[in-house]
Amino acid sequence: MARRRRPRAELGYGAFLSYSGERDRGWLPHLRRAIEKQSRPWYKPPRIRVFLDDSSISIGPQLWGKIEAGLARSDWLVVMSSPESKASVWVDREIEWWLRHKSVDTILLLVTGGLLVWDEQRGDWDPELSTALPARLLGRFTQQPVWKSLALRQPENGTGPVPDVDGVALGIASVVRGLAEEDLRSEGIRDTRRNLRAARITAAVLGLLLLVASTMFVVARIAQAEAVRQRDHAVAQQLIGQSSSLATRDPFGARLKALAAWRIDPTPESRLAMLNATANPASGLLAHSWPVKSVAFSPDGKTIATGSDDGLVRLWDAATQRKIGDAYIGHHRAVTSVAFGPSGETLISSGLDGTVRLWSIADHKQIGDALDARTGVISSAALSPDGKTLVLVGDGVSGAVQVWDVATHRRIGDPLEGRAKGSASVAFSPDGKTFATGAGNEVQLWDAGSHAPLGKALTISDDLLSSVSFSGDGRTVAASDTAGKVQLWETATRAPIGKPFTVDAGWVDSVAFSPDGEVFAASYADGTVRLWDIVGHTQVGAPLTGHISNARAVAFSPDGSTLASASDDTTVRLWDVRAQRQIGTSVGTGDQGETEFSTRGHVLAVGGSAFTVSFWDIASRRRIGEPLVSRDVDTGSPFALSPDGTVLATTSFASGYAVTLWDIATHRRIGEPLPAGDGNIRAMAFSPDGKSFATSGGSSVRLWDLATHGRIGKELAVSSFGLDFSPDSRTLATNTDDDTVALWDVATQRRIGETPPSHTAQINAVTFSPDGTILATASRDSTVRLWNVATREEIGEPLTAHRGGVTSVAFSPNGRTLVTGSMDHTVRLWDVTTRQQIGAPLEGHSADVTGVGFGPGGKTIVAWGKDDTLRLWDSEATVDPVDSLCRWARGAFNAGRWREYVPAGPAFQPLCPR
């Protein structure tokens, strides 16, 4: 079709503008546009096309040929008459061509300068007076032609006069088109009106189209926003699932993904993911992001050092299990061993990058350059007790043993003989006179002074050795192998002490002696840690379980009370050696009877033996003053503490039917005992405003005015052993014999409702949420149920995770978290919004948990039980999980981590904005 298309004929010109000189060059383009415009709309072609050689001719070598072509296609020749054009060769040539090929009657003269004078007698131009007439036009006209003179007008801006371009254009257009100027002006008006109508119609159509387009745009944006919302929700759900699966393998990734899910889609589910990722209230667990292969206690036992596969060395507070400062960064590969200097002011670490590094604890910096052993990797390093000598072994190139001077950072002599394949280990004796190395299947003892071997090497079997260790007195050396055996020898005689300690638990990675030398600990490939009695040659108690992957290293605290174990599961766990379980922060109370916690969470009253009640400050974890001792205190009956923790209510030992109030500060009675009913007192509670007091005895509940110690109204006809006031002190909740909860108006003593009989066993505890809208009930049926106080309808499904009756329940101060204690010896945390458990159960109690509560600000959980202990856990993460995660990350949750851990799609959002 393109080839067959007929060529389009060239368009002609209505007028050819001929001029000369700078006088007319500036305004002629405006004239051309004015002639062509003539009220035509922008979307239509001009009625008259005008040839202007200043702009219509392209640059080329044959200028006249292009001008001639323009003349040939033009209908009129418009000559700008002026003295300059009269003298112009080009204007003369253009007129000559026109006269030769066209008619003089189609020449229009426009005087732009000078004069044109017609001589009637001669019938021609006056050659003397016509200063603007080109000479070639003399004698050409048979009669006086019509010419126009350029008029000037004064512009509005006050500048000098300018040519009246529009008037000239109208005159030229009227001549070219053969119309009178009035007719042409009328046509322009009609065109203008027509154009205005067209413009209005166009504007209306465009407005309608704009409205439609805007509507479609809004609809599209809404649809796009919904699609983005659904995509972000899907990504957040994916991150929540990944966070849960990474909880034990990669705590760093789990926490970042949970926080990213919250930033992308802040829902109750993503908040729960944050709580699960960050909630680690159980003490005795040091969480890392990579497998941990080394752990050591400082000489004073207050600090723990760990080295992990990410090449980082970290310090931890042994008491609080919190990180101390930033990690030590220097190793390029996994850290294989860590050890403190004798004063605890320095630390050494070895790594698979073939270096040993010395660190200053005080300023958190590396001391000097790294010690480069040039053995490929360093599997173990040991510092002499005086801190002057370092022995290291490597298993990369040759397994060579090297001795270094710590002060000069230089190697002492050549590597020692004793090369063997396989991993290697080294340890100093406590007196620093001997060190032992294990490589291949041999243990070699060395003289630390001369670096000479002491006798022949010791062997267990043909299996590869994994570690060596000296006892606290240096008389015994132990070695473990990959077959799961541990062998002991006498250091002096190198004689084996009995048969190897063997258990079917995989290979042994590490062995450590207790400070008293009576037991040693060994870590096994199945994740267990076991204690062995050296004299009896038997295992002490059950294995310490908790790690879910290889247990790599063990270390005793200097006092021998705590054992630390490091594992490939990215954790270090702390164990109570005496109790043989993972430790928490516990407070031994001795014989423990009834215990009560102040509702504002800072004072705990513990009933002991011999009519004694002791008081504890939860924040400092210390006793408050001297115990309250009185024969009028029955420590086996219910207690109650006022909200501010200043008044204690106890059952009088002399009379089981009366309540005595005590001033905790002075240990003095407040007023006379309150007769509580017709039977033993079963429960009591203070109102939050401190004005009222409730006691349950026999088959009724009584209300008391604490100011007057007088009864308030009539008795409440209910038999109850669980009482709780609403936060506004206007409502009292009591459990009943039919396993429901009744609500009472305190002012009128009227029963205002009850919960349905949903529990299938006795309700042990009831409590209001801080805002009074929710009531929680704990039951012997192993469930906790939440109730809407206004409607008395159950909220969602019951909380079911305990494997025994639930004995106690408490809300956090912000009402978003619930803590429960159970006969299954565990304490559990719950997210109130989703009614899901937060994290793993908090273990440590060896008997029924009888009470739970939150400490000040909800940052501490306290629980007490029949094992005569109080246990405390850090719950600060549940108060503000975002803040807790960001403080834990210390700036590591950045844009790079976002790209690494978050799927493509959602736009980057700062995880921890400042």
What does the pLDDT read at residue 153? 67
- pLDDT, mean of residues 745-766: 94
Residues with Cβ within 8 Å of residue 741, at least 6 apart in sequence: 733, 734, 735, 754, 755, 763, 766, 775, 777, 787
Residue 384: name the closest of 335, 433, 437 by CA.
Answer: 433
Beta strands, E only, 131-172: 147-149, 152-153, 162-163
pLDDT tens digits for 310-356?
Answer: 999 999 988 767 788 889 999 999 999 999 999 999 999 999 988 99
Percent of the chain topping pLDDT 70: 90
Banded pLDDT at 414 (limits 50, 70, 90): confident
What does the pLDDT read at residue 188? 64
What does the pLDDT read at residue 815? 94
Tell me which H or E stretch contains 25. helix 22-25
Dump the DSSP string for 71-106. Answer: HHTEEEEEEEESHHHHT-HHHHHHHHHHHHHS-GGG
What does the pLDDT read at residue 849? 93
Across-strand partners of 479?
468, 487
**CA angle (481 as vertex; 475, 486 as ends), nearest 5:** 45
pLDDT, greater one: 77 or 416:
77
Please name the residue that has the structure tokens 């006249």.
Answer: 64
Question: CA 277, CA 874: separation in Å to the nearest integer?
Answer: 14
Instruction: Say whether pLDDT at 96 is over 70.
Output: yes
pLDDT tens digits for 13-47?
Answer: 888 888 886 667 778 888 888 888 765 655 567 77
Residues with Cβ within 8 Å of residue 883, at least 6 apart in sequence: none
Cα→Cα distances 386→341, 461, 895, Å: 8, 34, 46
Tell me which H or E stretch contains 424. strand 424-428
CB 9 within 8 A of CB 144: no
- pLDDT, mean of residues 151-177: 74
Q: Which of 218-232, 357-371, 882-896 has the lowest mean pLDDT?
A: 882-896
CB 424 within 8 A of CB 464: no
pLDDT tens digits for 444-475?
Answer: 999 999 999 998 889 888 888 889 999 999 99
Structure tokens at 191: 């065109």
Question: CA 233, CA 840: separation in Å to the nearest integer?
Answer: 26
Instruction: Say whether pLDDT at 547 is over 90.
Output: no
Question: CA 95, CA 81: separation in Å to the nearest integer?
Answer: 12
Which pTM was predicted? 0.57
Instruction: Say whether pLDDT at 59 is over 50.
Output: no
Mean model confidence pLDDT for the chain: 86
CB 54 within 8 A of CB 115: no
Across-strand partners of 716?
701
